[in-house]
Structure 1
Amino acid sequence: MEEKTQAQKILDAAYNCISSKGYANVSLREIADEAGVVLSQLNYYFGNKEGLFAEVIKIMINKYMKEIVKALRKGESAKEKLLSIINFFREMLKNNPELFRMLYDLTGLSIWSTSFNDLLKELFNGISELIEENILSKTTLNGSLKGYSSKSIARMILGAMFGTAIPDSIGT
């Protein structure tokens, strides 16, 4: 029980530090200090910095997936579900900018790390699948979208979702 408590303290501290300061501005010493543990415990529980940050990414993925599923449950029609997920991204940027910043920060980091890249692919693939299952499966594609697969359209919608999180100064 003690090990899980210490590991969870470290994860919570790492999540808080990275989401507030960014990956590049956080040292393992800062994380250990915030967790109230000695620096060597970070390596003991997570192996190295990459192992710790991979666990933080898993926490972030879990948060995103839970919130997106919750948003998709709000609507009945495909249009309502789409509006709900757009509102989720807007509200997240407004009420939880740390989570949004963390996603962008760790996405940039994934360019340099294969393990981070794989984890973020998991997140983006999971969100795309949710869009495909909950929105596109209830919609008949016609017009200029008719020639595209629902998977391609889901990825396009996901890409646009990050754009919808831009503040309303651009409009709705």
Structure 2
Amino acid sequence: MTERAEKRPQSDAILEAACHCLAQKGYAEISLREIAQKAGVALSQLHYHYDNKQGLFLAVLRSVAERYITEIEAELEGLKDSQSIFQRVTAFFQRKLDREPGRLRLFLDLANLSLWDESFRPQMRALFADLAATVEERLLSEEDPDRSHHNLARVFLGALVGISLQAILDPQRVHQAELFQMVPNLFLLAGSTSGS
């Protein structure tokens, strides 16, 4: 087996372990030593594959971004009307919160990190732009010149991220299912009144 072939699976194992550990404990509470232990590699291997903690977490951010974009694109495949688009993306966020709360916490933790660390900001900005563009592209298939699809997609995603954050912070008081159900209806209503 070549060195390159051996390197790939080990770097993947490290990345997977980092995603898992970060989703469980968050950026502030995790150490590279814990990640190396979870991946079953020596700490030096993390430095070999990712240089430093920042390099590893940037790779985690890229991985999360690619996964979310791929999953949302699959959710929206073949959809053309805004009602279906809004409902499907809303269901996606609700499913993430219900089934993979750690992954959603990881996404929010990385977003928070990008507020304070300049090296993370371009990738997080690109992730939000790509998510909005994915929704916007589908909305553009509707011929509605009075609607700002770009802004609508951004506000829509902002509402979903905000509800997700509230539900994680206060699950007892935030009735997430009810809030998530309201989002598509509000945006459909906003879209129908924008042209009048």
TM-score, normalising length from structure 1? 0.89
Q: What residue is the counterpart of 1:18 in the other structure? A: 22
Q: What residue is the counterpart of 1:93 in the other structure? A: 97
Q: Equivalent of 2:70, from 42, 46, 66?
A: 66
1:43 has 2:52 as partner = no
Could you tell me whether the CA contact under 8 Å between 1:78 and 1:139 is conserved in 2? no
For the structure 1 residues 64 and 162, does the alpha-carbon distance in structure 2 shift closer, same or farther, using more than 3 Å as the test? same
Superposed, 1:151-166 pairs within 5 Å as 151-165=150-164, 166=167
Can you list the C-alpha shifts for 1:119-146, whole angstroms capped at 9, x where unaligned?
111110001111111024415265xxx5
Bigger CA drift: 40-49 or 73-82? Answer: 73-82
Q: What is the CA–CA distance in structure 1 between the aligned matches of 2:84 and 2:24, rounded to whole Å?
A: 33
Alignment RMSD: 1.8
Structure 2 residue matching 1:19: 3-state secondary structure: helix
For the structure 1 residues 171 and 43, does the alpha-carbon distance in structure 2 shift closer, same or farther, using more than 3 Å as the test? closer
Structure 2 residue matching 1:89: 3-state secondary structure: helix
For the structure 1 residues 125 and 171, does the alpha-carbon distance in structure 2 shift closer, same or farther, using more than 3 Å as the test? closer
For the structure 1 residues 22 and 39, does the alpha-carbon distance in structure 2 shift closer, same or farther, using more than 3 Å as the test? same
Structure 2 residue matching 1:61: 3-state secondary structure: helix
Could you tell me whether the CA contact under 8 Å between 2:80 and 2:138 is conserved in 1? no
Structure 2 residue matching 1:114: 3-state secondary structure: coil
Structure 1 residue matching 2:151: 3-state secondary structure: helix
- Structure 1 runs of 4+ with >4 Å offset: none
Q: What is the CA–CA distance in structure 2 between the aligned matches of 1:34 and 1:23, rounded to whole Å?
A: 15
1:129 has 2:133 as partner = yes
Could you tell me whether the CA contact under 8 Å between 2:133 and 2:153 is conserved in 1? yes
1:63 positional shift:
1.1
Q: Equivalent of 1:31, from 26, 31, 35?
A: 35
1:76 positional shift:
4.0
Structure 1 residue matching 2:129: 3-state secondary structure: helix
Can you list the C-alpha shifts for 1:38-58, whole angstroms capped at 9, x where unaligned?
111111111110000000111
Q: What residue is the counterpart of 2:177 in the other structure? A: 168
Q: What is the CA–CA distance in structure 1 between the aligned matches of 2:139 and 2:163, rounded to whole Å?
A: 17
1:109 positional shift:
0.6
Equivalent residue letter for 1:168 = A
Q: What is the CA–CA distance in structure 2 between the aligned matches of 1:67 and 1:74, rounded to whole Å?
A: 14
Could you tell me whether the CA contact under 8 Å between 2:135 and 2:153 is conserved in 1? yes
Could you tell me whether the CA contact under 8 Å between 1:132 and 1:151 is conserved in 2? yes
1:2 has 2:11 as partner = no
Q: What is the CA–CA distance in structure 2 between the aligned matches of 1:132 and 1:83, rounded to whole Å?
A: 14
Q: What residue is the counterpart of 2:191 in the other structure? A: none
Could you tell me whether the CA contact under 8 Å between 2:80 and 2:142 is conserved in 1? no
Unaligned runs of 5+ in 1: none
1:104 positional shift:
0.7
TM-score, normalising length from structure 2? 0.79
Could you tell me whether the CA contact under 8 Å between 1:9 and 1:35 is conserved in 2? yes
Could you tell me whether the CA contact under 8 Å between 1:72 and 1:81 is conserved in 2? yes
